[in-house]
Structure 1
Amino acid sequence: MADRILVFYGSYRSDRQGIRLAEYCERKLRGRGAEVELIDAQALGLPMLDRMYKEYPSGEAPEALETLAGKIRKADAFLFVVGEYNWSVQPGLKNLTDHFLEEWFWRPAGIVSYSAGRLGGVRAALAWRDILGEMGMVVVSSTIAVGPIKDALTGEGEPAGSGGEALEKQFPRFADDLAWWTAAARAQRERAAPPY
């Protein structure tokens, strides 16, 4: 059974560079045999959080929320491609994740961060570890930080320079870690229902 992985990306900027990294991750995971879908917060265009998905009466949630809730529930794992804004998280991706809660439970999540600077978004990645853990996901220990993003991937999303070389070297171990936790979580869910 192929791992079903959702790759989440959240920049709303007009000249987004991190989308190259999200698409790179999508391609690499697909090349490993996973069923992968890129979920782009900007393309979804969810409103600022007013009601969580679970707060709508059954059948009354906006179509975009209903569809995404189904995809999240069916996924085996998640990969979050996160940019760093002012030492913190991107508001578009945070808004998307906050629309859901129980839908995320009992699945692993990996974090790939990036920024315009040389630290590669590590401060945002640290913030996301706590956020995703609080939302019921198991965050894998392997991470990837890419920076400066403009130099690490070409316009076509191909690795370039020393940043791209590091990304190519790190991705297999990162993907192995995510795959291990994905298999472990799937096996446990098949063995026993989650406790809540």
Structure 2
Amino acid sequence: MTHRILVFYGSYRSDRMGIRLADYVVKGLRARGEDVELIDAKAVGLPMLDRMYKEYPAGSAPEPMAALAGKIRAADAFVFVAGEYNWGMQPGLKNLTDHFLEEWFWRPAAIVSYSAGRLAGARSNFLWHGTLCEMGMVVISSTLSLGPIAETLTANGEPQGHAGQHLDGAFPRFADDLAWWAEAARSQRARKAPPY
């Protein structure tokens, strides 16, 4: 069964490397037959958070925000491609995420982290886990972490070297876990309305 999966990426840097990982995830999920869309925070261009989508009177939210709200509500699952900046989250991805709340509820989320160094975005990964849970998502236990990203993926998002082989080896379990939770959540939402 095909799932609608949104892959979120949030770097605003001019020489951003994480787009390699976002492209890899999108290609990998599409190859498995999933309906996947990359949501690039830089391309969406939401302002720094002033009002959440739900705080706008009906029909008055900026068009890119309203369009994204609809995509989030229609999705079965999410993947957050999370870079690490100074032991923390990328501000662009966090800002985009914070514009919404109820739209995220009752769906699984997966975290894919990266960094320029050997710790592979592990600290950002840890921070995102709690944040996504607080926002009403079920964060799956499978995760992908890679670094240094420049040595793991080529500019075209193709795995290279030992780290690239490890990524290719870990991806099927990651994707299986996400698909299982997407199916479980979709079935449960169809069977019984969420409690709130």
Q: Structure 2 length normalisation: TM-score?
A: 0.99
- The separation in 2 between residues aligned to 1:45 and 1:141, in whole angstroms, is 30
The residue correspondences of 1:117-128 to structure 2 (distance < 5 A) are: 117-128=117-128
In the TM superposition, what whole-angstrom CA distance separates every residue of 1:62-117 from its partner, at most 9, and x where no partner exists? 00000000000000000000000010100000000000000000000000000000
Confirm or deny that 1:139 pairs with 2:139: yes
The residue correspondences of 1:146-165 to structure 2 (distance < 5 A) are: 146-165=146-165
The residue correspondences of 1:97-112 to structure 2 (distance < 5 A) are: 97-112=97-112
Residue equivalent to 2:4:
4
Say how many residue pairs are matched.
Answer: 196
Residue equivalent to 1:185:
185
The residue correspondences of 1:1-196 to structure 2 (distance < 5 A) are: 1-196=1-196
Q: Secondary structure at the match of 1:141?
A: coil
Gaps of at least 5 residues in structure 1 are none
- The separation in 2 between residues aligned to 1:89 and 1:162, in whole angstroms, is 27
Q: Structure 1 length normalisation: TM-score?
A: 0.99
Identity of aligned residues (%): 71
Q: Secondary structure at the match of 2:106?
A: coil
Gaps of at least 5 residues in structure 2 are none
Q: Secondary structure at the match of 1:5?
A: strand
- The separation in 2 between residues aligned to 1:89 and 1:124, in whole angstroms, is 5
- The separation in 1 between residues aligned to 2:128 and 2:14, in whole angstroms, is 23
1:155 is displaced (CA, Å) by 1.1
Q: Secondary structure at the match of 1:84?
A: strand
Deviating 4+ runs (over 2 angstroms) = none
Q: Secondary structure at the match of 1:142?
A: coil
Matching residue's letter, 1:99: H
1:157 is displaced (CA, Å) by 1.0
